[in-house]
Copies of this chain bind each other. A is one copy, B any other.
Amino acid sequence: MKYSNFFIPTFRENPSDAKLKSHILMLKSGMIKQETSGIYSWLPLGFKVLKKIIKIIEDTHDSHGINQILMPTIQSSDIWKMSERYDTYGKEMLRIIDRNNKELLYGPTNEEMITSIGKHFIKSYKNLPRYFYHIQSKFRDEIRPRFGVMRAREFLMKDAYSFDKDEKSGELTYENFFKLYLSIFEKLGLKIIPVRAPSGEIGGSLSHEFHLLLETGESKIFIDETFLNSNFSKLKIPEIKSINSFTDELYDSLKISKCLKQLKSTELGHIFLFGEKYSKSFDFKIDYNNEKIYPYMGSYGIGVSRIPAAIIELSNDNNGIIWPKEVAPFEITLINLTSDNVSTKLFCEQLYASLKKSNYDVLLDDRFERPGIKFSDADLIGIPIQIIVGKNFIDKKEINIKTRKDLNETTICSDNIFKFLKKMKV
């Protein structure tokens, strides 16, 4: 991609209305724009990051036999009356009256709808287990939306749902999703702590949240420090059930006396095994050995559009964002400091073409801007590797390679660029 053709409207000044580092940097780097309170547009750079994250989540779900679907954003109030959540959900639910005076709502989550889908299609235990996921906009009318996409009203959620024939099979599914979540966050380059959580208004007995430790996080979790060193991905359901780390809400309600360390964090995922709660309220029964049983269900959410902000919150410096390579919008930015010079222009165009041919995702800064602006934009948008071409190339065929993370710069002969990149494991 050429910078001249990819819209990244960066700002020099800090926005006046943002306090959280990630919020400031996402606005400054032209990743997002607020449209109204708690509602954002994702601009080209932001959306490219979001798509990379979505692809990791999709690939991991697909490879585990979870079928992707797309449920609508707008739901009928009917199904929420069946689960009795229409009244209890409160003011966070965005309620809508259509032109025929029918009560609709913007889905804050989809347990009701997936249960009605299950009831419509699944008639026998032979159809089970079944797992579905979708990535769809949700709306929760937060009283105080804040921190940019970290706590937005309209946001992208990945929510998965499972149908099993009984509790035992449901718990195995829950264990598999638990591990699936750990592997997704690992692929995103994030060290995540699973903690036991209350089931809240979703219902059920078994629930865990997946937290990222963050000084600036809005959540508090209580952690058994010995647990931090264990390999979560080896845990089986009995150990998962008895994890000795908790959300603050559960910690308080369980009146836990054990001395645990309190840390600040941000919630990125939440899973629930709620069993027969919704299948019962929908009278969703299936055949099972001449009996009728209620399918055993669970739901599994990831706050997709919150992830870019969480990563930035964790990975930045005074100059801007530092993208880990897993989710970086581009792997390399190739900066031509002298766009009006024929020889650097030719070299950059050729290098850009060969890098693309070698499957590198490259942003070529071909703009007619001062070097200072190109340097500060490159540091601000945080692409992991900068290849800098300027006066030294004209004089001595030398170019510089700068790693965004440590700002280290190495001068190399331009002929050695591919060898050097390979050595860097880009």
Contact = CB atoms under 8 A, between A and B. Distances in A.
Interface stretch (A92-100, A196-204, A217-225): A92-100
Interface stretch (A115-123, A182-190, A244-252): A115-123
Given A5-B65, A7-B132, A9-B121, A71 B41 contact: yes
Interface residues of A, number: 55
Interface string A381-399: 0000000000000000000
A137 interface: yes
Interface in A98-138: 98-100, 102, 104, 106, 113, 116-117, 120-122, 130, 132, 137
Interface in A54-84: 65, 67-76, 78
Copies in the complex: 2
Contact of A96 (B91, B96, B143): B96
Candidate in A6, A33, A41, A47 with the most chain B CB atoms within 10 angstroms: A41
Contacts of A98: 94, 141
Interface string A35-47: 1110111111001
17 contacts: A5-B65, A7-B67, A7-B121, A7-B130, A33-B117, A41-B70, A41-B117, A42-B70, A43-B69, A44-B68, A47-B68, A47-B69, A73-B73, A73-B154, A74-B94, A96-B96, A106-B106
Interface of A: 5-7, 9, 30, 33, 35-37, 39-44, 47-48, 50-51, 65, 67-76, 78, 91-92, 94, 96, 98-100, 102, 104, 106, 113, 116-117, 120-122, 130, 132, 137, 139, 141, 143, 153-154
